[in-house]
């Protein structure tokens, strides 16, 4: 079956790339292509670019590259009309349109390589795209094949060490196309909204001195140290005064239950209280942050606590401590960043396959 696949994203752009693939691909393109010299495309060496017009002397300008008789790439103007016209012409000749995701997941493709190329299209940062590119280039396939060989030699301890190294990166792998959820929590009026705006670098949350201003969960997609992150500003946690605030607090607790990291924001200008301690007891793994370090420091309250816990000091208003906080968030999310070329499982089924290999090594 002869297929035409649009490899570049739909919509207007600088260039659109179409791949014509299958038996007779070269002949299908050649029947509509005219080069400036009249030289047939078959006379060009594979991988050499050729200029021409698709559809005759006044047709669409294209750059053509043949990979072989069964695979040809057409690069045309990035407007919607040019690509659509070429595809319609080829479909009228018997070509079948194929989505690029279906093409990438063809039965002959290595499943890891196919999954990597699809995931790269959804990568939100250069850093995560580079890790996925390593998997596309075979890093994970080589690591899995090496483990299979190690198991075949009955070298179970080395196999478990290799398996554990891969599994230690599976959490990172799951977030290469899905952002980490970082939720800001704390009592009302501690400056969560101001802090979220400071972390984002622009105003996203409404800031007001009145406690309980934030009634909804406000989210923002960003990147921290090259890792995709969704920041979430939540309602202040306290005994609600009305139904609307109560609904906001319930939504905040739902977001906290699904968070990859909780940033517990406290007000350094007021004494540490039993209410603060209750929140810390609920989320002992939270990253503690003391906002308003530009104000006078509050003293310890008489609530059975001698000293408040250690934490980072910031001023969302002045920007003090924001960079160290961003670094601390990145370290919490990715304590051990993989070196270039490292194997990283990035799909749940890949992690499941690796865990199954570990059972064989026991």
Domain range 180-333, CATH class: alpha beta
Q: Percent of the chain scored above 90 by pLDDT?
A: 60
Within this chain, domains 3-104 and 180-333 share the same CATH topology: no
Q: What does the pLDDT read at residue 207?
A: 44
The band of 209, judged by pLDDT with boundaries at 50, 70 and 90, is very low
Count other C-beta atoms under 10 Å from residue 269's C-beta: 16
Q: Which range among 265-274, 297-306, 348-357 has the greatest average pLDDT?
A: 348-357
Q: What does the pLDDT read at residue 214?
A: 46
Please give the biggest Cα pair distance in the chain: 91
| CA atoms 179, 180, 181, 187: torsion sign | negative
Q: What does the pLDDT read at residue 159?
A: 95
Indicate the range of 21-30, 211-220, 299-308 predicted with least confidence. 299-308
Task: Return mean pLDDT, the chain.
Answer: 87
Domain boundary assignment for the chain: 3-104, 111-169+346-361, 180-333
Q: Report how far apart, in Å, the C-alpha atoms of 345 and of each of 108, 131, 300 are.
A: 21, 10, 47
- On whether the pTM is more than 0.75, the answer is no
User: Above 60 in pLDDT, residue 299?
Assistant: no
Query: What pLDDT, in 10s, does the model give residues 218-243?
Result: 888 999 999 999 999 886 665 545 45
User: Above 50 in pLDDT, residue 300?
Assistant: no
Q: What does the pLDDT read at residue 298?
A: 61
The band of 247, judged by pLDDT with boundaries at 50, 70 and 90, is low
Q: What does the pLDDT read at residue 236?
A: 62
Q: What does the pLDDT read at residue 276?
A: 87
Higher confidence at residue 346 or residue 249? 346
> In the CATH hierarchy, which fold is given to the domain comprising 3-104?
Gyrase A; domain 2 (3.30.1360)
The band of 205, judged by pLDDT with boundaries at 50, 70 and 90, is very low
Q: What residues are paired with 61 via a beta bridge?
A: 53
Query: What pLDDT, in 10s, does the model give residues 150-192?
Result: 999 999 999 999 999 999 999 999 999 999 999 998 888 888 8
The mean pLDDT of 309-313, rounded to a whole number, is 90
User: What's the 3-state SS for the chain?
Assistant: CCEEEECCCCCCCCEEEEEEECCCHHHHHHCCEECCCCCCHHHCCCCCEEEEEECCCCCEEEEEEEEECCEEEEEEECCHHHHHHHHHHHHHCCCEECCHHHHHCCCCCCHHHHHHHHHHHHCCCHHHHHHHHHHHCCHHHHHHHHHHHHHHCCCHHHHHHHHHHHHCCHHHHHCCCCCEEEEEECCCCCCHHHHHHHHHCCCCCCCCCCCCCCCCCEEEEEEECCEEEEEEECCCCCCCCCHHHHHHHHHHHHHHHCCCEEEEEEECCCCCCHHHHHHHHHCCCCEEEEECCCCCCCCCCCCCCCCCCCCEECECCCCECHHHHHHHHHHHHCCCCCCCCCCCCCCHHHHHHHHHHHHHHC
The mean pLDDT of 239-251, rounded to a whole number, is 58
The mean pLDDT of 284-307, rounded to a whole number, is 73
Q: Which range among 185-189, 194-198, 350-354 has the greatest average pLDDT?
A: 350-354
Dihedral Cα 237, 238, 242, 248, nearest 10 deg: 10
Higher confidence at residue 328 or residue 236? 328
CA pair distance 14, 120, nearest whole angstrom: 20
The mean pLDDT of 2-27, rounded to a whole number, is 88
Token pair 């196309």 in the structure block, residue: 177
Decide: 291 and 189 in contact? Cβ < 8 Å. Answer: no
Higher confidence at residue 216 or residue 311? 311
Decide: 358 and 153 in contact? Cβ < 8 Å. Answer: no
Q: What does the pLDDT read at residue 56?
A: 85
Q: Report how far apart, in Å, the C-alpha atoms of 325 and of each of 138, 295, 331, 355 are.
A: 35, 18, 10, 35
CA pair distance 165, 131, nearest whole angstrom: 16
The mean pLDDT of 83-89, rounded to a whole number, is 94
Q: Report how far apart, in Å, the C-alpha atoms of 269 and of each of 194, 206, 273, 353 are.
A: 15, 21, 12, 52
Q: What does the pLDDT read at residue 311?
A: 92
């Amino acid at each position: 079956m002869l297929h035409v696949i649009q490899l570049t994203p739909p919509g207007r752009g600088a260039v659109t790339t179409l791949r014509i693939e299958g038996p007779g691909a070269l002949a299908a393109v050649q029947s509509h292509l005219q080069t400036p010299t009249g030289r047939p495309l078959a006379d060009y060496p594979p991988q050499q670019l050729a200029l021409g017009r698709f559809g005759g002397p006044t047709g669409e300008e294209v750059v053509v590259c043949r990979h072989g008789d069964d695979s040809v790439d057409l690069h045309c103007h990035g407007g919607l009309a040019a690509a659509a016209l070429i595809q319609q012409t080829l479909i009228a000749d018997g070509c079948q349109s194929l989505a690029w995701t279906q093409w990438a997941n063809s039965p002959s493709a290595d499943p890891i390589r196919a999954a990597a190329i699809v995931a790269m299209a959804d990568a939100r940062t250069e850093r995560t795209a580079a890790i996925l590119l390593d998997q596309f280039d075979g890093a994970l396939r080589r690591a899995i094949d090496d483990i299979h060989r190690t198991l075949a030699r009955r070298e179970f301890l080395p196999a478990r060490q290799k398996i554990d190294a891969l599994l230690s990166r599976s959490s990172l792998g799951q977030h290469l196309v899905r952002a980490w959820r970082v939720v800001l929590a704390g009592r009302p009026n501690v400056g969560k909204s101001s802090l979220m705006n400071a972390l984002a670098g622009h105003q996203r949350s409404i800031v007001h001195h009145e406690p309980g201003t934030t009634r909804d969960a406000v989210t923002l997609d960003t990147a921290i140290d090259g890792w995709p992150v969704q920041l979430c500003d939540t309602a202040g946690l306290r005994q609600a005064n009305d139904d609307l605030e109560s609904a906001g607090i319930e939504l905040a607790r739902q977001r906290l239950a699904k968070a990859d990291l909780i940033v517990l924001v406290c007000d350094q200008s007021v004494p540490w209280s039993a209410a603060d301690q209750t929140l810390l007891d609920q989320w002992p793994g939270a990253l503690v942050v003391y906002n308003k370090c530009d104000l006078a420091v509050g003293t310890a309250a008489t609530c059975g606590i001698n000293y408040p816990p250690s934490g980072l000091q910031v001023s969302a208003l002045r920007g003090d401590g924001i960079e160290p906080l961003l670094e601390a968030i990145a370290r919490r999310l990715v304590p051990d960043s993989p070196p270039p070329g490292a194997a990283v499982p990035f799909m749940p089924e890949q992690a499941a396959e690796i865990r199954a290999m570990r059972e064989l090594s026991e």
